[in-house]
Structure 1
Amino acid sequence: MSETFEPTSASGPQEEVGGQGDWIARPDELEAYRIVGRPVAGGEGWTYETVYRQGQRRAVKQLRRPPQAGAEWPSTSDLARWQDVMTALATVDNEHLVRVLEVFAGPPPRPAGTRAAAGARRYAYVVMEWLEGSTLENLLRNGEIDRVEAVKHVYELASAVSALHSSTQMDGTPLIHLDIKPANCVVTADRGLVLVDIGTMRLLGEGPDPRRPRSLGYTAPEYTRAPERSPAPAADHYALGAVTYFCLVGEVPPGDMDSAAVRASARQRVERAAAEIKVPRTRLGDLVMGMLAADPADRSSPAPAELLEAITPERRRRRTLMLVAGAAVIGVVLAFSLVMGNEGGTSSTPVSSVPNLAPFGASHASFTARQAGDSLQISPPLGTNRYDFLWGMSTGPGLVACGSVVDFDVTMDPSADRESGFGVGVAPRSSIDADQPSGSSVQYEWVPRSVSSTPGSRIRPALLPGGAWNARTQPVMAPDVGATHHVHVIGEGKGLEMTVDGVRASYDVPRVECGGVAIRAWGTSMTIRNLRIKLSA
C-alpha cells in the first residue's frame, strides 16, 4: 500500500511514498519496478529495493518534490540535467561509483494492476544498480566495523571523488557530487565503498541549485551561508574531509570551522584517533584539517594516493616503501645527469639534456618502464584500476625548473583497443608526491565512441593528479594516434602548449609552476624516441 508522508516544512506538499508490493513505472507503463522492501528515507527522497519485470534487482530513488513544485515538476530541463549526469557517469570506469541505469518522471507508486489517477502528481525517479551492503554510517553507528576498517574505505571514497572531478576520466564533463556523506556510501563485499545518489550532482560550470538539501556537518560552510553559490569541486573536498573525520572520531565534525579554538580541538581529536589506530597522526591531521578549511581558497584536495599513504599504519607503510625502493634500485638507476658542455669547454646551458628518468606509480601497481638513452618504453596497467592512478616516468626531485621544453617522437601500440581510451601526457613542471605527479599537464589521446559521438584523436589539458580542468575548455582535433608523431611541449610562465606534427594547442595555467618533467601513458603501451628535455630557471 502507498503511504502519505508529512512534509518536512510547513509549505511543502505531502509526499506519496510506495510500500511493499507497489509498482513504479513511467506514465505509459502499467508495471515496471515492483517494490520488495520498505522505503529508506534520506535527504533527497526515498530509496526502494525493487525487482524489474525480468527479475533483476534494482535500487529506485524517488526524489522528494521541492516546496511549491508545480504540476510540471520535474521540468524538461531538470530531466535533461539528470540525463546529462547519467551519461557522464557512463563514461567513467570506477568501481567505487554507482552505475545509473535510467532517469524518468512518473506518477506516484501504485498497487499492481492499477493506473495512475487523472491529475496525479509527477515524481522524478533514478534507477541504479542494486548494491548488497550497508551504509558506512550504519556500519559505524552499529559497531559492525571499527575505526581501522572504516578509515580504509576513505581511500575508496577519494578514488570516486577524484574520478568525478577528472576531466580525463569523465571525457571532458567532470561532475560535482554535492552530497557526500556516510549515508551515501554503501560498503559492499566485492567492491568496497561505493558512492551513491546522483540527484544533487551538477556538471562543473553549471549554475547553483539553492533548493538542494544540505547535510549538517558535511555541507561546505560557503554553501550553508550562500545556497545560491555556484558549485565547485571544493565542496566535495570538504565533504571528503568530513567523512574522514567521522571515520576517525566517530562523530560529525563541528560546524564552526572559522573558529581557531574549534579547529584546534578538532585537530586534537583527529590526531588522537590517528595515534590510536597507529597511522601518521601529524600527516593525517594536516590532510583532514586542510580539507575542512572554512575558506574554499585554502582548502586542500589530496589525491587518493596521498590519503592512502596517510591512513596506512606506520609499520606496513615502512615495509611497503622498502619493497618499492628495493624494486626500483633493481629495475632502474635512480640517478640524474645532464650532458653539459660545448666544443670549446664548459657551459651552463644544456646542449643535449636527456636525464635518467625514474618510474612513478609502481607502488600502486606493477608496470613496465624502461629507458635506453633517449628512448622510453612505457606499458601501463590495463586492468580495472587503469584510471585509479597515474603511471609513467619523471625526472624526479633532482631537477627542478620553472620553464621547460620537451620534444620526442611517440609510437603507440598499433593494436591498441580503440573501443577504450588511451594516450600520452606530459606535465612539464610537475612534482612527485606519494608516487604520483601533480601539476598542469597536456595530453595527446584517443577518445573512443563509447564516450563521444565523434571518436578521434585529441589534444587536451589536464590538472594532475585528478585530471580535472575547466569543462568548457574544448579539446583540439589532432593527427591520428595510429602513426608515429613528433610531440613538442612547452611550459613557460603561465602558459602550457603542445604541438603534434604542426597541430598546436595552447592553454593558460592559474600560476607559474616549477618542477620536473613527468611523462605518463594510459590504455596502451608506447615507445618514445629522440627524447630531449631543456630546462630553464
Structure 2
Amino acid sequence: MTVTTTPGSGASDPGDPERPNGLFVGPPEAPDQYELLGKGIAGGEGTVWRALYRGKLSLPLLFAVKSLNRPRGGPDDWPSAREIQRWKDQIVLLNALGTTHVVKPHEIFLGARSHHEGAVDGEANIPYLAMEWVEGETLAELVYGAPAGGRTIVERMKYVTQIADVLGKLHSLSQMKGNPSVHCDVKPGNCIVHPERGVVLVDLSMMRLLDDGSGGGMYSIGYTAPEVIADPYAPRQPSADLYSLGAVAVACVLGKVPPEPSRDAIRTLRKEVRAVGREAGVPNPEAFAAHVLAMLAEDPARRPSDGPAWAGQLLGMVSAGTASEVSSGTPRKTPSKAPGEKPSEPSETSVTEKAEPGARPASGLAALRGRLVLSVPALVVVGITVLLGIVLLRPSNADGLLGAWPEPADRGSADPPLTRPADPAGPVATGPPSATVTPVPPSESAAFSPPGTRQAAPGEDVLTPSVPPTQHPATTGPPGSTQRPSTQPTPVRPAGAIGAPAEGTQVRQCAYFSGTSRLPAGKTLILAVRNLSSEKPNKYVTYVFGWDKPSTLSSWRGRQYFGDGDSSVGQKYRVELMVVDLAAARAATAEAKKTTPADYTPVHALASRGTALAARTVVRIAGSGPNNNCAA
C-alpha cells in the first residue's frame, strides 16, 4: 500500500521509507526545502533518502536526496568550488543527453546537516544532490541469489544491453556535446529496473569528464577493473567502465558478485558461465562464456571497445536459443531470488577499506534504493550480428581466453594490490625544476588508433584504443620445402601514439597527455618537453603514470608542464613520447632521490637516451592547468 504524505503531516516514522522522519535539509536560503522520508541508505559516498520537495507548492514532489561524504584523505575545505562546479556541469550535461537510461538530476546545493523544521544546526557545508525518484528494484535485488535460467537469461542480457547503451552515450564525444564522461561506479546496485521502462543507471556522484584528472579513490569490490584497483586515484578511462559492464553481465549470469580480477578467477568464471549458459539453453555456451569474459581482460586494450555492440551480440547469443522469450518491449520483471531473500550488494570502498562482497547497508534497500528511472526504448538485435558473434568469438582451445591474463609470474602477483603504495617507486611525474608536482593522476580521452591500425573516420567515436597482437610469421625454407610456423616469437618493436591533446592545442601551465603503446620487455615510457620558442635545447622529462609497470602501458596517461606561471604565454612547446630502458629510469630515479630536495637532473637526462615514438606541438596560453594545475 502506498502512503501519501504532505509536508509535516502525520507522525514521523524513521523506519517507514514512505513516511517523514522528522528531518529536513536544504540550501541556506531555504533550509527546510526537502522533507526527508525514512531512514535513508548509507553507502561509501554518502546517504540517500526519499524526500519531498516543499517550496511553495500546494502538493510536494518526490525526489531522491543524497548527502555526499568527504572522501577519505580529502582536504578540510572539501568540496572545493571546482568540485561544486563539476557536479553542476554534470547536471546540465545529463539533462541535455536525452537518454532514458540515466537518472535525471535536479540540483546540487550546500546545506547544513539534517535538522528538525526551523532548527538549522551548523554551517551549510554539506553537499546534497537532488535527483528524480521513480519506484523500482535494483538489478542486484533482481539477480542476486540465483543464476540465470531458461526463463530469465534473455531478460537479464537485455538489462546488460540497456546499461551498455547508457555507457555508449556517456563515452561518446558527439552525444555528450564534446564532453565525454565516465560513470566510475557501474554495478547492479546502481542500476534500477522499472517494470515498464527498463534499466536506468544512477548514483552519479562519481561521474567525471574524461579530462577531469582524478579517479576519486573510491571503487566497488567485484566491479572494478584491475588498473583501477592498482591505482584508484589514477584517471579513469571508458575501458574501466566497460570492465564494470562485463562484471555486471557476469553477475546477471551467475546471480552473485564476481570475484576480484585474477587469472584463477577468470578460469573459474569461464567454467561457471559456460555451465549456466548450457543449463539455460544457450546454443553455444563456450562461445557465450568467451564473449562475456572478453570484457574482463586485464589489458584494457584487449577489451571490446564498443560496449553496445558487444552487449547486442551477447543478447543475440542467448536469444538464438530462446527466441520465443524475446519480446520487443522491456523485459518482464521475473524475480530470480527466493521469496524473502535479502540479496547483498558490495558497497563503495576507499583505498584503505575493502568491502566484503556480502555486506549490505542495515536499512531496507528493497523498499528504498531503486527508484530513479526514466523510460527505455527497446533494443533491436540484428540476426547477422548474432551469427557473427557466435562464429567469430568461438575460442580455438579450452584455455584460449586465458591468454588475456598473463601467468602470475609475468605479473608479479596473481591479484592486483588493493591499496595504492604510500611511496611509489620514483616520481609519478616531474616537471621543470621550478614545478611542484603531486602524484594524483588525471584523465584524458584516448579517441585514436595506435600505429598500424585504422584511423577513425570524421565524427566516429573511438572509445578504447587497441594494440594489435604480435604476429608470428611462418619460417621460410628452400624451394619445395615445407614451411612451418616459427617457434620463436618475432621481437616486439616499440610503438606508441599520442591521442590527446591534438596537434596545435592551446595549453595552460600544465596539460594531460594520453595514448597507446606496445613495448618490448624492459622498456618504459616518458614524456619529454622542449620549448621551441627558446634557443635552449633543454628537454624536461616526466614519467607517464605507472611507468614502473610497463605491462600496464598499452593505454597510457601522463602530464607535462609548460613554463613557470604565465611567463611563457604565446610560446610553442614540443612534447615527445619516448621509450627508454626501464632499468635506466629506475636508476635515474634512485639517483635523483639521493639529495634533499630531490635533484631530477638524472631523470631529465633520459631524454638524450630515449627513442621518440610520437610528438605533439602545443601553444601556451595564460592560466594554470586543470585539476588544480595537474596537482590535486
TM-score for the superposition, normalised by structure 2: 0.47
Counterpart among 258, 261, 266 of residue 253 in structure 1: 258
Match of 1:408 in 2: none
Q: Once structures 1 and 2 are overlaid, which stretch shifts more, 135-144 or 232-241?
A: 135-144
Match of 2:53 in 1: 52
Q: Distance in 2 between matches of 1:59 and 1:472?
A: 38
Match of 1:26 in 2: 27
Residue by residue, what CA displacement relative to the aligned partner does 1:30-64 show, whole Å, maximum 9, x if unpaired?
31111122201222211110111131110111112
Change (3 A) 1:184 1:142: same
Q: Distance in 2 between matches of 1:310 and 1:68?
A: 41
Change (3 A) 1:56 1:472: farther
Q: Does 1:295 align with 2:311?
A: no
Q: Distance in 2 between matches of 1:320 and 1:2?
A: 43
Gaps of 5+ in 2: 1-11, 327-374, 383-387, 389-448, 466-497, 504-632
Q: Distance in 2 between matches of 1:132 and 1:472?
A: 43
Q: Once structures 1 and 2 are overlaid, which stretch shifts more, 267-276 or 136-145?
A: 136-145
Q: State whether residues 150 and 247 of structure 1, in contact with CA within 8 Å, keep that contact through their aligned partners in structure 2.
A: yes
Within 5 Å, give how 1:394-405 maps onto structure 2.
none
Match of 1:102 in 2: 107
Shift of 1:273: 1.5
Within 5 Å, give how 1:243-282 maps onto structure 2.
243-257=248-262, 259=263, 261-279=264-282, 280-282=284-286
Shift of 1:463: 3.3
SS at match of 1:51: strand
Q: State whether residues 2 and 109 of structure 1, in contact with CA within 8 Å, keep that contact through their aligned partners in structure 2.
A: no
**Alignment length (residue pairs):** 332
Q: State whether residues 175 and 203 of structure 1, in contact with CA within 8 Å, keep that contact through their aligned partners in structure 2.
A: yes
Q: State whether residues 74 and 105 of structure 1, in contact with CA within 8 Å, keep that contact through their aligned partners in structure 2.
A: no
Q: State whether residues 303 and 465 of structure 1, in contact with CA within 8 Å, keep that contact through their aligned partners in structure 2.
A: no
The residue type equivalent to 1:92 in the other structure is L
Within 5 Å, give how 1:195-206 maps onto structure 2.
195-206=201-212
The residue type equivalent to 1:20 in the other structure is N
The residue type equivalent to 2:206 in the other structure is T
Q: Does 1:227 align with 2:232?
A: yes
Q: Distance in 1 between matches of 2:204 and 2:502?
A: 24
Q: State whether residues 63 and 132 of structure 2, in contact with CA within 8 Å, keep that contact through their aligned partners in structure 1.
A: yes
Change (3 A) 1:464 1:218: closer
The residue type equivalent to 1:174 in the other structure is P
Counterpart among 190, 207, 210 of residue 184 in structure 1: 190
The residue type equivalent to 1:24 in the other structure is V
Shift of 1:190: 2.5
Shift of 1:220: 0.9
Q: Distance in 1 between matches of 2:145 and 2:325?
A: 33
SS at match of 1:46: strand
Match of 1:168 in 2: 174
Change (3 A) 1:282 1:67: same
Shift of 1:464: 8.2
Q: State whether residues 204 and 471 of structure 1, in contact with CA within 8 Å, keep that contact through their aligned partners in structure 2.
A: no
Higher strand proportion: 1
Within 5 Å, give how 1:221-370 maps onto structure 2.
221-257=226-262, 259=263, 261-279=264-282, 280-312=284-316, 313-315=318-320
Match of 2:555 in 1: none
Shift of 1:143: 6.4
Change (3 A) 1:2 1:103: farther
Q: Distance in 1 between matches of 2:323 and 2:118?
A: 63
SS at match of 2:228: helix
Shift of 1:231: 1.1
Shift of 1:306: 3.5
Q: State whether residues 177 and 198 of structure 1, in contact with CA within 8 Å, keep that contact through their aligned partners in structure 2.
A: yes
Change (3 A) 1:318 1:389: closer
SS at match of 1:200: coil
The residue type equivalent to 1:281 in the other structure is P
Within 5 Å, give how 1:481-520 maps onto structure 2.
none
Shift of 1:142: 6.1
Q: State whether residues 145 and 256 of structure 2, in contact with CA within 8 Å, keep that contact through their aligned partners in structure 1.
A: no
The residue type equivalent to 2:268 in the other structure is S
Match of 1:361 in 2: none
Match of 1:362 in 2: none
Q: Greater RCO between the two (CA within 8 Å, min separation 6)?
A: 2
Q: Distance in 2 between matches of 1:158 and 1:221?
A: 20
Q: State whether residues 274 and 285 of structure 2, in contact with CA within 8 Å, keep that contact through their aligned partners in structure 1.
A: yes
Q: State whether residues 439 and 463 of structure 1, in contact with CA within 8 Å, keep that contact through their aligned partners in structure 2.
A: no
Change (3 A) 1:245 1:144: closer
Shift of 1:302: 3.8
SS at match of 1:67: coil
Q: State whether residues 148 and 254 of structure 2, in contact with CA within 8 Å, keep that contact through their aligned partners in structure 1.
A: no
Q: Distance in 2 between matches of 1:69 and 1:157?
A: 31
Q: Does 1:43 align with 2:48?
A: no
SS at match of 1:463: coil
Residue by residue, what CA displacement relative to the aligned partner does 1:462-488 show, whole Å, maximum 9, x if unpaired?
33899xx978669xxxxxxxxxxxxxx
SS at match of 1:254: coil
Change (3 A) 1:210 1:59: closer
Q: State whether residues 312 and 381 of structure 2, in contact with CA within 8 Å, keep that contact through their aligned partners in structure 1.
A: no
Match of 2:444 in 1: none
Q: Distance in 1 between matches of 2:462 and 2:380?
A: 13
Percent of residue pairs identical: 32
Q: State whether residues 36 and 49 of structure 1, in contact with CA within 8 Å, keep that contact through their aligned partners in structure 2.
A: yes
Q: Does 1:462 align with 2:461?
A: yes
The residue type equivalent to 1:93 in the other structure is G
Q: State whether residues 30 and 114 of structure 1, in contact with CA within 8 Å, keep that contact through their aligned partners in structure 2.
A: no
Q: Distance in 2 between matches of 1:229 and 1:464?
A: 18
Counterpart among 137, 142, 146 of residue 139 in structure 1: 142
The residue type equivalent to 2:52 in the other structure is V
Match of 1:523 in 2: none
Q: Distance in 2 between matches of 1:145 and 1:266?
A: 14
Q: State whether residues 13 and 20 of structure 2, in contact with CA within 8 Å, keep that contact through their aligned partners in structure 1.
A: yes
SS at match of 1:297: helix
Q: State whether residues 249 and 273 of structure 1, in contact with CA within 8 Å, keep that contact through their aligned partners in structure 2.
A: yes
Counterpart among 120, 130, 133 of residue 127 in structure 1: 130
Q: Distance in 2 between matches of 1:143 and 1:276?
A: 13
Q: Distance in 1 between matches of 2:128 and 2:13?
A: 16
SS at match of 1:442: coil
Change (3 A) 1:29 1:473: farther
Residue by residue, what CA displacement relative to the aligned partner does 1:181-218 show, whole Å, maximum 9, x if unpaired?
1110011122201000111111012212343x211111
Q: Distance in 1 between matches of 2:180 and 2:25?
A: 31
Shift of 1:135: 0.7
Q: Does 1:153 align with 2:159?
A: yes
Q: State whether residues 40 and 47 of structure 2, in contact with CA within 8 Å, keep that contact through their aligned partners in structure 1.
A: yes
The residue type equivalent to 1:157 in the other structure is I
Match of 1:440 in 2: 456
The residue type equivalent to 1:307 in the other structure is A
Shift of 1:89: 1.3
SS at match of 1:294: coil
